Structure 1
Amino acid sequence: MKKLLVVAAAVTSLFAQAQTFPANPITIVVPFAAGGPTDRVARDLAEALRKPLGGVSIIVSNVAGAGSSIGSTKVARAAPDGYTLLLNHIAMSTMPALYRNLPFKVETDFEYVGLINEVPMTLIGRPTLPAKNFKELTTWLTQNKGKINLGNAGLGAASHLCGLMFQSAMQIDMTTVPYGGTAPAMTDLMGGQIDLMCDQTTNTTQQIEGKKVIAYAVTTSHALTTPSLKDLPTLQASGLKGFEVTIWHGLYAPKGTPADVVAKLNTALKAALKDPEFIKKEEALGAVIVTDKRMESAEHKKFVAAEIAKWGPVIKAAGTYAD
């Protein structure tokens, strides 16, 4: 009887919280260092969410490390009351394959709030590469098998994942050179120490515009409209059928967060995605706001499940794991 009363009290408490949510400040955990693309998305979103959530304070907390698994674990283990959220990117779909001992299950330990945006990627090369377009690059890659250095920003980074898929699509093994972030990788690419890199437009557009690197293609299924990138072909159109990589961001709550709270968060998120100032800031980053059904919680979850199925074989085929 006592146990039943305790359970009843807990259920009543959660219902009351759902009815009054949000009554306290909300924390959005970003599982990456401050100043990076995901951090910027989170801070811009926090500002856009305040109004539809009744003016509540929203704090962005950076909990970086282990390819975003540390911050994600913190949220998975947080109280399921809607006051601790996770904003993560494509890592949500790659962690299950990358980490043998992941302390949570992506598909079952979170409530899915909604998808936020997608960021295109570009394939770029050192400025001294003799290949000046993708056709010439294909020839150069074939002629230089065993000598190609492909840089990335570290295990699980967007550039790492795109590089794995590019090698798989080209069926050419390259020497992967991991760095401790995009900045040192880009520095070495511009300096000619590595040959190629595939990274987000948020990190490459400025270097492409300054002609500090050679741009070969974009990873989206359609051409981009950004002036400096609009003439770049897609990798699909260049012969790599089915090649499409975008770095998306989504919002999550701990498993067990009341359905009413998740619904309120989803409604607020959809309002934020229509905020003109937020749209302007995202466009400046080269990001595209999600406007389709993936904004909905259930569709967001289906999308991540499909991404897990997409990336798992690529990662396993490469033999890339972390403990």
Structure 2
Amino acid sequence: MKKLLIALSATLATGAALAEYPDKPITIIVPFAAGGPTDKVARDLAEALRKPLGATLVIENVGGAGGTLGAGRVAKAANDGYTLLLHHIGMATAPALYRNLSYKVLDDFEYLGLINEVPMTLIGKPSLPAANYAELNKWLEANKGKVNLANAGLGSASHLCGLIYQSTIKIDMTTVPYKGTGPAMTDLIGGQVDLMCDQTTNTTAQIEGGKVKAYAVTTPQRLGTASLKALPTLDEAGLKGFNVSIWHGLYAPKGTPKAVLDKVNAALKVALKDAEFHKREEALGAVIVNDARVNPAEHKAFVAAEVAKWTPVIKAAGQYAD
């Protein structure tokens, strides 16, 4: 009887704690430095979540090792709902890129919902002779073994896009990694490298300013922005089914109570309809997710499919980190 009363008391206490959640600030770990695209998404989302969740949300940047340090911290954090992770496509590519990953992507997290998708653009140095994608394709064929493809470092969006682009067109290029998009873009504008494939958040201003040549977008639909809507998709250009975008999702440590997960997911769905959040994301060239992937099960299934998609591409390229 005594044990039953103790168990009942513990259950009631847990239920009361869940009913009060959240009763203190929630930390969202961003596994990259402040000021980047993922950090911006996190800060915009935190503001949109504040009212429906009824809590203050604090952004903590834990950069390093391609986002794996921050993700690893959340995997080992207390599963009480007060530490969340906002991560991009690196969630799905890390298992193939890192031999000694400290966590299991599909086992060590609770999935809360997908947030957005960011298209990418294929751009070239201003002196490239090709005026459009058809001409670029001919130029690539004529210059096999001579083309340099810049990226912002191992595991970056530009690195991943470059890998799958080379795999699709079956033309190997010399990959030139940089410590961030900034120096990579500087050398592309200066003509030290030939091509780069990167997020609209990083390329739109350079395209609009005429500092680089733009050839195509990587999603099945053209971009909606007035300055870029004339850009063809790679699918239209002949690479049927080509679809690469950078997405962001929200996660909690494994074992976080379902009642807490349900509260956060419900608040996330409200935040994704927030007009100000839409306005800020559209300015980044991002598209808010409004399909079933805002649900935990569909979000996890999507990431599992992305792991399956990227693993053979990365392994075929033989590019790993310890």
User: Which bin holds the TM-score, normalised by the shorter protein?
Assistant: over 0.9
Distance 1:153 1:6, change over 3 A: farther
Counterpart of 1:79, as a letter, is: A
Matched residue, 2:131:
132
CA distance in 1, matches of 2:302, 2:313: 17
Counterpart of 1:39, as a letter, is: D
Counterpart of 1:180, as a letter, is: K
Cα RMSD after superposing both structures: 1.8
Matched residue, 1:182:
181
Counterpart of 2:25, as a letter, is: P
CA distance in 2, matches of 1:63, 1:273: 24
Deviation string, structure 1 residues 37-82 (Cα, Å, up to 9, x no partner): 000000010011000012x111000000000000000000000011
Matched residue, 2:159:
160
Distance 1:191 1:166, change over 3 A: same
Matched residue, 2:26:
26
CA shift for structure 1 position 24: 0.9
Segments of structure 1 that go 5 or more residues without pairing to the other structure are: none
CA shift for structure 1 position 15: 3.6
Matched residue, 1:301:
300
2:279 equivalent to 1:319? no
Matched residue, 2:73:
74
CA shift for structure 1 position 225: 1.2
Counterpart of 2:32, as a letter, is: F
CA shift for structure 1 position 20: 1.3
| Matched position secondary structure for 1:121 | strand
The answer on whether the counterparts of 1:147 and 1:175 sit within 8 Å (CA) in structure 2 is yes
2:104 equivalent to 1:92? no
CA shift for structure 1 position 16: 3.4
CA distance in 2, matches of 1:17, 1:301: 27
Deviation string, structure 1 residues 250-279 (Cα, Å, up to 9, x no partner): 000000000010010000000001111111
CA distance in 2, matches of 1:151, 1:84: 35
CA distance in 1, matches of 2:66, 2:163: 16
CA shift for structure 1 position 10: 6.9
2:62 equivalent to 1:48? no
Distance 1:145 1:117, change over 3 A: same
Matched residue, 2:261:
262
CA distance in 2, matches of 1:129, 1:255: 49
Deviation string, structure 1 residues 139-180 (Cα, Å, up to 9, x no partner): 100111111100000010000000000000110110000000
CA distance in 2, matches of 1:3, 1:243: 60
Count of residue pairs the alignment pairs up = 322
CA distance in 1, matches of 2:238, 2:247: 24
Distance 1:242 1:103, change over 3 A: same
Distance 1:135 1:308, change over 3 A: same
Deviation string, structure 1 residues 168-223 (Cα, Å, up to 9, x no partner): 01101100000000000000000000000000000000000011000000000111
TM-score, structure 2 normalization? 0.97
CA shift for structure 1 position 241: 1.6
Segment of structure 1 superposing worse, 237-246 or 37-46: 237-246
CA shift for structure 1 position 6: 9.4
Matched residue, 1:108:
107
CA distance in 2, matches of 1:121, 1:17: 43
Counterpart of 1:159, as a letter, is: S
CA distance in 1, matches of 2:121, 2:316: 23
CA shift for structure 1 position 14: 4.3
Distance 1:307 1:9, change over 3 A: farther
CA shift for structure 1 position 237: 1.1
Distance 1:104 1:178, change over 3 A: same
Matched residue, 2:287:
288
Matched residue, 1:227:
226
Segments of structure 2 that go 5 or more residues without pairing to the other structure are: none
Distance 1:191 1:264, change over 3 A: same
Structure 1 vs Structure 2: percent identity of aligned residues?
Answer: 70
Distance 1:7 1:211, change over 3 A: farther
Segment of structure 1 superposing worse, 8-17 or 115-124: 8-17
CA distance in 1, matches of 2:191, 2:8: 65
The answer on whether the counterparts of 1:14 and 1:81 sit within 8 Å (CA) in structure 2 is no
Counterpart of 1:94, as a letter, is: T
The answer on whether the counterparts of 1:15 and 1:258 sit within 8 Å (CA) in structure 2 is no
CA shift for structure 1 position 224: 1.3
TM-score, structure 1 normalization? 0.96
Distance 1:256 1:225, change over 3 A: same
Counterpart of 1:152, as a letter, is: N
CA distance in 1, matches of 2:202, 2:12: 48
